[in-house]
Amino acid sequence: MRKLRSVLVGTALAGALAAGIAAAPAQAATATTAGTASVAQAQYTKHWFSGYSSFGRGESRGDRSDYKGYWYHSNGRYYFDFNTYDRDRDRQNTYIDFYYHDDNGWHNRRFSTGGHREWKFSFSDKNGFDGFRARIGEGRSGAFDWGNYYRHSF
């Protein structure tokens, strides 16, 4: 009986060892793939920017509109992604003035929302894209409570 038990234990131990050796290359390949994926994701760095609108008479600081976003450069393009929040429900829209500069001068894109909104867009660096500035305002046409500019040059 002792010999049979010893043979069974030895066989089980040998089988476990063989299974571990067979699994090691698969685990190594999985670790290498995961390492490659994390390197691919880390090819760019996110740069954060944000701002607040000013506030008008009768409004508190908590009623201001705000935005927060980031930009990054990858494969010859500048990518932008930002969220805007209109906090006060006063039936006035929130506006983002996004100015960018390239070899042809300054250009403007205006975005607006009455609540929460996300925008994503990109620019090629082939035309000499070299900076941007953004500000947020709230109100009606001609009477905006503009905040300060966020400015960035490359």
pLDDT means per 10 residues in the chain (154 residues)? 51 51 50 49 83 73 83 94 84 88 94 90 91 89 83 83
Q: Could you confirm whether domain 47-153 is CATH 2.60.40?
A: yes
Q: From CA 148, how far away is CA 144, in angstroms rounded?
A: 12
Q: What is the C-alpha separation between 140 and 9, in angstroms, rounded?
A: 83
The pTM of the full predicted model, rounded to 2 decimals, is 0.66
Contacting residues for 86 by C-beta, under 8 A, at least 6 apart? 65, 92, 93, 94, 113, 114, 115, 116, 138
Q: What is the pLDDT of residue 110?
A: 92
Non-local (6+) Cβ contacts of 59 within 8 A are 88, 145
Residues 6+ away with beta carbon under 8 Å from 47: 70, 71, 72, 152
How confident is the model at residue 42, as a pLDDT?
Answer: 53
pLDDT reported for residue 4: 47
Beta strands in 26-153 (DSSP E): 47-52, 66-74, 77-85, 93-102, 105-113, 116-124, 131-140, 143-144, 150-153
pLDDT at 79: 96
Q: Rounded CA gap, 55 and 21, in Å?
A: 67
* Dist. CA 122–CA 128, nearest whole Å: 14
